[in-house]
Structure 1
Amino acid sequence: MATEVEIIRGCAEDISDLLRLIKALADFEKAPQEVITTEAELLEDWEMGRFEYLVLKHAQDGIIGISLFYPRYSTWKGACYYLEDLIVEPEHRGKGYGKMLLEATADYAKEAGAKRLDWQVLDWNESAVRFYEKMGAGIETEWWNCKWWLNKQE
C-alpha cells in the first residue's frame, strides 16, 4: 500500500480535482445544488491562504482523495484546525487510505501548533461515524451548528 499511494500538499494544479471531489461528496450527501464555489474561487482562496489541503495520489488512478482544512481558535483550548472535508473515492475505501489521510491532516495540524482537530459528520452517515470513533474521535451531540449567510444567496 505504501508504494501505490502518497499524500502530499495540494497545489494550484490540483484545484480541478479538489472541486471534482467536493462535488462528489455533495452528491453523496444529497446536496449537489449546495456547491456554488467555482474552481476560480477555490484557487483564489487557496492562494490567499484561506485553506490548505492534502491530496491522496494513487500511482495508477491519480488523485483519489483530499482533506481540506484551515486554522481556527478555541477560547477554551487555544489553536485548533477545522477539517472541512475528508474525501476518499468510494472505489478506494476500505484500504486504509482514509485513516492515512486523517492522520496526515492531524500531523499537519500538530506541526502548526494546533491542540485539536474539529469536524462535522452527518448523523445518517453511519460508516463515517464508526470510522471516526474507531480513530478515537469523540462525537458530540449537545452542540448545534449555526450558519449566518453574510451575503444573500441566490
Structure 2
Amino acid sequence: MTLQIRPATPADVPVLVQLITALAEYEKLTHLLEITPEKLETQLFGPRPPAEAVLAEVGPPEARRVAGFALYFTNFSTFLCKPGLYLEDVFVLPEHRGQGIGKALLQHLAALAVERGCGRFEWSVLDWNEPAIRFYQAMGASVLPDWRICRVTGEALEQLAGRR
C-alpha cells in the first residue's frame, strides 16, 4: 500500500464533508451535523482559518483514493507558555482500517506539532470507544482520568454571552 498524507485544499471540501458525515454516522451523532461545503470551505480556507485538515490517500499516484482525514487547530497552554496542536477529529474509512493509516495520521500531526514548537498534542475520545482508547494508548497517549470537557452551545451559549 502506498500512503500519502497531504494538506487539504479547497477542491477537497466535498470529500471532507463526506468523511465528516461518515464519522458522525459512526459516532451516531448525525443529528448534530450542521456542516455544508460552503461553511467548511470558509472555516478551512477563509481569511482567518481556525482549523486545518490533512487527507490520507492510498494507491498509486495515478489512482489515489481518500482513506481518511484529520482536522486540527492550534490551541495554547498557559502553563507551558507554548502553542499546542489539538486534534478535533481523525477518521479512517472502515475498509482502510488496520493498515496503519490512523497511526500515520497521528505521527504526521505529532511531527507537525514538533515542527511548530508545540508543547502538547491533544485530543478527546468518547468513553465508549474502547478500540480507539486502546489504539491511542498503544501510540503512547495518556487518557487523562481527571479531566472532563465542558461545553456551552446554542441557547446556553447565547445566555452566557448575555444575549438572551
Alignment of 1:105-144 (within 5 A): 105-144=109-148
CA shift for structure 1 position 143: 1.1
For 1:96, the equivalent position in structure 2 comes to: 100
Residue of 84, 89, 95 corresponding to 2:88: 84
CA shift for structure 1 position 151: 4.9
CA shift for structure 1 position 42: 0.7
Contact 1:8 1:55 in 2 (8 A): yes
State, as a whole percentage, how many aligned pairs show the same letter.
37
Q: Which amino acid aligns with 1:11?
A: T
* Structure-2-length-normalised TM-score: 0.86
Cα RMSD after superposing both structures: 1.4
Q: Which runs of 5+ in 1 are unaligned?
A: none
Asked if 1:70 is matched to 2:45, the reply is no
Max Rg structure? 2
Deviations 1:75-98, CA, capped at 9 Å, x for gaps: 112210110001110110111111
CA distance in 1, matches of 2:138, 2:43: 33
CA distance in 1, matches of 2:89, 2:115: 20
Q: Which runs of 5+ in 2 are unaligned?
A: 160-164
CA distance in 1, matches of 2:83, 2:25: 32
Query: After the TM superposition, which parts of structure 1 deviate over 3 Å for at least 4 consecutive aligned residues?
Result: none
* Structure-1-length-normalised TM-score: 0.92
For 2:53, the equivalent position in structure 1 comes to: 53
Aligned pairs, number = 150
Contact 1:7 1:57 in 2 (8 A): yes
Residue of 8, 11, 23 corresponding to 1:10: 8
CA distance in 1, matches of 2:113, 2:40: 21
Q: Which amino acid aligns with 1:51?
A: A
